[in-house]
Amino acid sequence: DGFVLRYRTGGSQVDGLPGNEGAFLACTFWLVDNLALLGRLEEARDLFERLLTLRNDVGLLAEEYDPRAGRLLGNFPQAFSHVGLVNSAHNLSAALGLGTDAGPERS
């Protein structure tokens, strides 16, 4: 599904918490960045746009996403996810050559 897990719990409670781990959105934004750096711009853009569809009605993201249940999980809102979104938007725009026109010069 393209989403990245921080780690697999496999019922081992590796983090000391019961239950499963959702896809960690910050890691998935890092994947967008890496795809862009590799020149795989179409894949990067597709994944970025897919991540944008996960936002709630006011544009906020949680820490994790459960693709099976189709819902946001964990800390909400999560600044780390939003930092990933902003960084990926910047990195992808730069890789695609968007936003290179600085506009009129200011004095």
Cα dihedral 3, 12, 79, 27 sign: negative
Tell if the pTM clears 0.95, that is, is over it: no
Q: How far apart are CA 19 and CA 36, in angstroms?
A: 33
The fraction of the chain above a pLDDT of 70, given in percent, is 71
Given phi > 0 = left and psi -120 to 50 = alpha, else beta, which region is 50?
alpha
Q: Is the pLDDT of residue 33 over 70?
A: yes
Cα dihedral 45, 70, 78, 2 sign: negative
Amino acid (one-letter) located at 40? R
pLDDT band at residue 73, thresholds of 50, 70 and 90? confident
pLDDT of residue 75: 78
